Chains A and B, each alone.
Chain A
């Protein structure tokens, strides 16, 4: 069994982002970048399956600019065997990413494709479902538990009402929730070893995929600021304010 894991390079989740003054986007220069958090869970799950002897190879793939190589390298440092970087500059919409991944899946023929359920930059939550549609594979989104059975995958999904359990045929796409597992940290020896693992570089244009955005981003603005509130000294004062000033209780 072969597992392909898609990872995305995003602004680190702890960074307070800044909107560019001309409204053309978000400041990314000199900002700490990291792996999209639920993509770390996707890599962890794939590596765990490999360690249990049920998978023979874990391949990490990223679609993005040259620097996304660091994100692939990090996946190699926590246990992926080899990497693929599909190079595209500028904004790549989930539809284009899923078309690129479709080409990679056709070439690599994995049994499972894992990725995070959502990227924390554009918050789209689309790529996994789109890839599943293009491949006509089943999709198990928002997974918080995965159980590998013969030719089948039983997946517990986090849905609004609670939990849902579904069974999907393999090959399948799984999009991972943050509660799927606890991603490991890369040890120094493994980081050194990862430097020797291969990363294949491909240009998206060579795959015959049109990655031109279909959605025009007209402007990006800061959200309306909440006006600064006050500190109350006691619980009595709080209740009095809520009752008489805010009139919400």
Chain B
């Protein structure tokens, strides 16, 4: 019995976290099959077939899957499920929305957001916003698992030549209709995969002041993050939120500016390699996890930081 991985894509390209999920899936079992449910999605199936860890691509090409809706995806997955020991996907908004719907119909108790594969049925997962880690063992016949993408390296994208097998669509449902997606386009690296992230919190005081963050981000080729407080205050849009209910990031360098360090925020960034905190409150909890803390007014420190960066001959990209 193999592992069935559900790919996330936009009918043209595979979403990067699918590659991290493929890595995790191949740690469960070597025999990984990837299901691509799409419309005019030949390129997606082809690019996944070139991932060396993938043994087979199941491709359903039907207008039903022009837009991703959990209701439509579920029936196609259920039809294939009996041939598989595990069904897996990434634990981002795509997989979080989809997997429980599949699991419930299979009468399976899902294991969410794993950070480590211990064996075929045993996994490590964070609970309480990453303030504890639970080792859990599933006793269900089919295991439904979602994977924390930032805990696994992305699989290589070339060198493989898996068979692409066309498969039948599932039942259509008109319970839900896709209207539109308002994607925020940006030339910056994606928050979830960026090497450097600089985030602003309530201390920024306004959306206008985020330009100080933007200037440093431009210099470091960094993604821009934010605390929930900054998002709730309307300084910046929600797709920038880092934390328990936002995105989890694990960059080489995380710079927290004007962020006090609530438990919910730390949950999204405390695995970063190097953490820098800039805050004028020397007692802020963020300093207890920062490798380098600078107790300073951010409105002085950020322009000076940029000035010092400009003096460097080279900056890693």
Pairwise interchain contact B138-A214, C-beta atoms closer than 8 A: yes
Give the nearest-CB partner of A19 in chain B.
B132
Q: Is A141 an interface residue (CB 8 A)?
A: yes
Question: In the complex, what distance in Å separates the CA atom of A140 from the CA atom of B178?
Answer: 11
Q: On chain B, which size bracket covers the interface?
A: 35 or more
How far, in whole Å, are A222 and B136 apart by their CA atoms in the complex?
Answer: 15
Among A131, A162, A234, A249, which residue has its beta carbon within 8 angstroms of that of B237? A162
Q: Tell whether, in the assembled complex, residue B287 and residue A165 are in contact, meaning their CB atoms are under 8 Å apart.
A: no
Instruction: Check: B275 CB closer than 8 A to any chain A CB.
Output: yes
Q: A165, B245: Cβ atoms under 8 Å?
A: no
Which positions 124-151 of chain A face chain B at CB distance < 8 Å? 124-134, 136-142, 144
B294 shortest CB reach to chain A, Å: 5
Q: How far is the CA of A230 from the CA of B288 in the complex (A)?
A: 9
Whole-angstrom CA separation of A16 from B179 in the bound complex = 41
Q: Assess the B238–A139 pair: CB atoms within 8 A.
A: no
A65 to B267: give the CA distance in the assembly, Å.
Answer: 28
Flag whether A70 is at the interface (Cβ < 8 A): no
Which of B69, B127, B231 is within 8 Å of A122, CB to CB?
A: B127
User: Which residues of the partner chain B approach A223 to less than 8 Å between Cβ atoms?
Assistant: 126, 130-133, 270
- Label chain B's interface by main secondary structure: mixed
Among the listed stretches A54-62, A80-88, A91-99, A197-205, which one makes contact with chain B, having 4 or more residues with CB under 8 Å of it? A91-99
A94 CB to closest chain B CB (Å) equals 7
Q: Kindly list chain B residues whose C-beta atoms are within 8 Å of the C-beta of A142.
A: 93, 96-97
Measured between beta carbons, the chain A residues less than 8 angstroms from B100 are 94, 125-130, 133
**Does any Cβ of A come within 8 Å of B215's Cβ?**
no
CA distance A48 to B253 in the complex (A): 43
Contact at A139–B231, with CB atoms within 8 Å?
A: no
> A188 contacts the other chain (Cβ, under 8 Å)?
no
Are B182 and A163 in contact, with the CB atoms below 8 A? yes
Hey, which chain B residues are within 8 Å of A220, CB to CB? Answer: 127, 132-135
Instruction: Contact check, A162 vs B137: say whether CB atoms are below 8 A apart.
Output: no
A218–B315 touching, CB < 8 Å: no
Whether B97 lies near A95 (C-beta < 8 A) is no
Selected from A17, A117, A129, A231, the residue in CB contact (under 8 A) with B245 is: A117
Q: How far is the CA of A235 from the CA of B295 in the complex (A)?
A: 10
How far is the CB of A200 from the nearest CB of chain B, in Å?
25
A21 to B139: give the CA distance in the assembly, Å: 26
* Complex alpha-carbon distance, A131 and B105, angstroms: 10
A166 adjacent to B179 (CB under 8 Å): yes
A164 near B: Cβ within 8 Å? yes
- Please state if B128 and A249 are interface contacts (CB–CB under 8 Å): no
The residue that A249 contacts in the complex, of B183, B228, B263, B309, with Cβ under 8 A, is B309
User: Cβ of A222: which chain B residues have Cβ within 8 Å of it?
Assistant: 131-133
B180 touches A164 (CB 8 A): yes
Chain A positions within 8 Å of B93 at CB level:
142, 157-160
Question: Are A215 and B181 CB-contacts (below 8 A) given A243-B312, A248-B196?
Answer: no
Please name all residues of chain B whose beta carbon is closer than 8 Å to the beta carbon of A131 when the two chains form the complex: 104
Contact with A along B58-70 (1 / 0, CB 8 A): 0000000000011
Which B residues are CB-close (under 8 A) to A248?
A: 196, 252-253, 273-274, 316
B49 at the interface (CB under 8 A from A): no
CB of B53 closer than 8 Å to a CB of A: no
- The answer for the CA separation of A177 and B93 in the assembled complex, in Å, is 12
What is the CA–CA distance of A148 and B137 in the complex, to the nearest angstrom?
A: 42
Q: Indicate if the CB atoms of B127 and A94 lie closer than 8 Å.
A: no
Quick check: B232 and A130 within 8 Å, CB to CB? no
27 contacts between A and B (CB under 8 A): A13-B263, A94-B109, A95-B109, A123-B113, A124-B112, A126-B100, A129-B98, A129-B100, A142-B96, A158-B239, A159-B181, A162-B181, A163-B181, A166-B176, A166-B178, A169-B175, A214-B108, A216-B136, A218-B135, A220-B134, A229-B293, A230-B291, A232-B292, A238-B276, A238-B308, A248-B196, A248-B253
Query: Which residues of B does A touch, CB under 8 Å?
Result: 69-71, 74, 92-94, 96-105, 107-113, 122, 126-140, 174-184, 192, 196, 220, 228, 231-232, 237-239, 244-245, 247, 252-253, 263-264, 270, 273-276, 282, 287-296, 301, 304-305, 308-309, 312, 315-316
Q: A218-B135, A223-B270 are in contact. List 8 more A-B contacts (CB 8 A).
A: A95-B108, A123-B128, A140-B176, A141-B97, A159-B94, A223-B132, A230-B291, A235-B294
